[in-house]
Structure 1
Amino acid sequence: MKIGFITPEYPHAQLNVAAGIGTSIKNLAVALVKKGITVTVFVYQQNSDAIIFDEGVTIHKIAKKQYRFLTWYYYRLQLQNHINTIVAQQKIDLIEAPDWTGITAFMRFKVPLVIRFHGSDAYFCKLENRKQKFKNFLFEKLALKKASAFIAPTTFAGEETAKIFRLDKSKIKTIHYGLQIENFVNQSPLNYNKNTILYIGTIIRKKGVFELAEIFNKVVEINPEATLILIGNDAFDIQTGSSSTYKLVENLFSNEAKKNVNYLGKVSYSEVKNHIKNAHICVFPSFAETLGMVTIESMALQKPVVNTSIGWAKELITDGVDGFLVHPSNTDLYAKRILELFSNKKLCETIGVHARAKVETLFDITKNAEVNIQYYKSIIE
């Protein structure tokens, strides 16, 4: 079987910075190759054209191009023509694309198209209670209409997307993202920097970073030794128009809390794993995700995680067993859970062990790749 992936990001030194979508696709692509599947990845909106070979995967780096008018349309045609050429040459059986921005709207392929719900703009707007631009909704709707089938990383993401776009639920298969868990092993889970809280993710409103500032202020009031490390790209804030969400968040920290905050910006993937290992607790108070790769990465490294209690997270964590679930707006309880973990080493250890077991059961990419293969076969046949 030969599978092609269309994506705006993929982790590689020669490509633009990648985040959760790229990481989840690479994990699957490499696992598929190990199972004898030929994988070609088409990465668009890049700074140049190139063909890259990495871990058995063939990557087509496709440059961003501007046209005199209707760039959104003509660039899609350019991508379509390039991809169709490779599909014919390599005899690719199936194409997978993300729902975000409806990149495959106006494209036509001669093989089945599967769309995976990494998170559409419409999905995030609904969770954030934010109005979506009609053009964005239209593009995503058109893209979804042309798909033969859909994959959701969580049942919650699948059900919510089906409601938004009125999709046939029978065409949606829930298949969790996965990790190459052999690459996420913590040999010393009891060695960490005490009272250190780690947040990983874009500094953006939907990730609960404003609430995190309030939470940390409350933690520091009780535990002045607490420190907060933030990792991730700074983002434009849609509500205020500020070019830096972090500057807005920074102003929310109390004078005492601000002394104990360290914003590192974007760091390498290997560095992120080291920061997770060194953290006492990982926190993800997000309002909008489809799954959250950094959550399962932290769990795999046996870290106690305090996550959101919204939909998707309930499929990752059993509250009080392999992590904690708290709504981001409940800042008092969120701070209480962090302080509880700080003061109870045994609880941290127990949750970490259970978290690792959960990842091995549900998020092992070797197992989940096989589920993907069987689903692809059912679509092709």
Structure 2
Amino acid sequence: MNVCLLSLEWPSYGGGIGTYMFNLAKGLQECGHNTTVITHNKQPERISGVNIVETPIENENRTLKNKIMRWRWEPHHSWSQKAWDNFKEMQRSFDILETAEYGAWARHFIGNVKMPIIVRCHTPAVGVRQIPVNGNEHRIPFWLKLENKREQMQTQNADAISTPSYVLSNLMSLSWSIPVNRIKVLPNPVDTNLFRPIDFKEKQKEILYVGRLQYNKGVFDFIDAIKPLLNVHQDWTIRLIGKDLKIPDFIKSSHKMASEEILSRIPVGNRNQIKIIGWVSVDELIKYQQQAMIAVVPSRGFESFSYTLTEQMACGTAVVATHCGGPTEIISDGYDGLLVPAGDIEAMRNALQKLMIDTELCREMSRRARKTVESKYSISKVVPAITEWYGKIIGYYKND
């Protein structure tokens, strides 16, 4: 099978959809399929046997022109045109093309190529919003409304649509008027050879948070939950890895950045237990995920899947997550992790305390978490299911 993947995001540039495309390409190559990836030109990570076609990204410097043209959702708008131009020059034929809804990168491809196009819904613009506070509705910026419309049109006109979770499938169906039976649910593949556990005896008494230091991600809920436990468990460390962001206006604080607000909520005598670091390399991230006994995904906002969660589980780490979308479908509560209501600080505190005081429970949940990811979300399990679906889509397209 000759497969083309179209994605502006690709390691080490971008986020979750880039990870999905990278793992998909790796799995396709391992299954013996010819794979070409059209992506950015910022030193994209290579996969042996996979053809990478680099397409330049528009200058992202915050110039006045770029600010004025933000309604175009740069660099996505200009990159999608350049990707189409590159594709036309390739002089190659493909059986199928997969892209993401995010950025509407295939807007110029749909209706202009002789092959089926799949749109993978991962983080639609309709899901990128702040949580309403005190009953005040969050207003979506006009430029984001335009991008949402572009993404909707691309997805509706695709030959096939997939999502990593049923909760996202339902959201897409309701938000974009797409019949739910048009949407195939296939989980995100996880590289279980890269994200793998160490011996439990080598783990440290550490709780790990990975993600932006942001209200939507529930980082302040996590800090408020863990704060009373620090005096009781002074031999435990709390490590936060992620980009530091400004505090939203509705949080009344004298501080500007989230990291400052986090530390201000911790008693002075316990601040040495808090370690805040920025983004780290993948190798460093895996090291931290392996050594932590517990990891927390405390999101208040919508999570369509959560690579953060499944990668931590793959590293054999006991997890506590909120009912925020995808995690509810991944974790079997009480078996391979613990689930709590989003925003319920007391429930989160109790779940963390339960694991902190019971090493054997933590060990058993860590083992089960790894087993869950291996059996349901590994590249070797997910990608063959995707290629089987590809075959059906190609057959439908040829017979149409």
* TM-score (ref. length: structure 1): 0.88
Structure 1 partner of 2:295: 282
Q: Distance in 1 between matches of 2:22 and 2:349?
A: 35
Residues 243/149 of structure 1: CA separation in 2 closer, same or farther (3 Å cut): farther
Closer/same/farther in 2, CA of residues 179 and 332 from structure 1, 3 Å limit: same
The question of 1:271 aligning with 2:284 is answered: yes
Residue of structure 2 equivalent to 1:114: 118
2:286 counterpart SS class: helix
For the residues of structure 2 that align with 1:365 and 1:165, how far apart are their CA atoms? 30
Asked if residue 27 in structure 1 is aligned to residue 23 in structure 2, the reply is yes
| Contact 2:304/2:325, CA 8 A, preserved across alignment | no
Residue matched to 2:106: 104
Question: Which digits, 9 at most, give the CA deviation of each residue in 1:30-89, with x for residues without a partner?
Answer: 011011111122224x55xx7875322222222222699966555432222223433xx2
The more displaced of 265-274 and 55-64 is 55-64
Q: Which moved more, 1:231-240 or 1:365-374?
A: 231-240
Q: Who is 2:153 aligned against?
A: 142
| Structure 1 spans left out of the alignment, 5+ residues | none
Please, which of 135, 147, 151 is the counterpart of residue 162 of structure 2?
Answer: 151
* 2:398 matched residue in structure 1: none
Alignment partner, residue 80 of structure 1: 84
Contact kept? 1:77, 1:107, Cα under 8 Å: no
2-structure distance, mates of 1:238, 1:106: 37
Distance 2:127 2:242 in 1: 22
Contact 1:299–1:355, Cα closer than 8 Å, also in 2: yes
Superposed counterparts of 1:37-52, under 5 Å: 37-44=33-40, 46=41
The corresponding residue for 2:93 is 91
2:71 is the alignment partner of 1:60: no
Distance 1:101 1:248 in 2: 33
Q: Contact 2:56–2:79 (CA<8 Å) still a contact in 1? A: no
Change (3 A) 1:121 1:235: farther
Extract structure 1 runs of 4+ deviating beyond 4 A. Answer: 50-53, 66-75, 126-129, 236-244
Q: Structure 2 vs 1, CA of residues 315 and 231 (structure 1 numbering), >3 Å: closer, same or farther?
A: same
Displacement of 1:10: 1.5
Bigger mean CA deviation after superposition, 257-266 or 343-352: 257-266
Matched to 2:217, the amino acid is K
Please list the CA deviations of residues 209-250 of structure 1 after superposition, one character each: whole Å capped at 9, or x if unmatched. Answer: 121221221322432333211112234556579984434444
Matched residues, number: 371
CA, structure 1 residues 84+377, in 2 after alignment: closer, same or farther (shift >3 Å)? Answer: farther
User: Aligned partners of 1:61 and 1:283: how far apart in 2?
Assistant: 36
Task: Tell me the C-alpha RMSD between the 2 structures.
Answer: 2.6
Corresponding residue for residue 62 of structure 2: none
Measured at CA, do residues 238 and 6 of structure 1 come closer, stay the same or move farther in structure 2, by a change above 3 Å? farther
Q: Shift in Å at residue 116 of structure 1? A: 0.9
- Hey, what does 2:196 align to over in structure 1? 185
Which amino acid in 2 is paired with 1:59? I
Q: Unaligned stretches of 5+ in structure 2? A: 60-64, 396-400
Distance 1:145 1:126 in 2: 25
Aligned pair in 2 of structure 1 residues 119, 243: CA closer, same or farther (>3 Å)? farther
**CA deviation string 1:89-137 (max 9, x = no partner):** 2212222111223333455340322111211120233877743232132
Instruction: Please tell me the residue identity of whatever aligns with 1:276.
Output: Q
Q: Within 5 Å, which residues of 2 pair with 1:190-339?
A: 190-194=201-205, 196-235=206-245, 239=249, 244-287=257-300, 288-339=302-353
Q: 1:135 to 1:324 in 2, by over 3 A?
A: same
Change beyond 3 A, Cα 1:314–1:53: closer
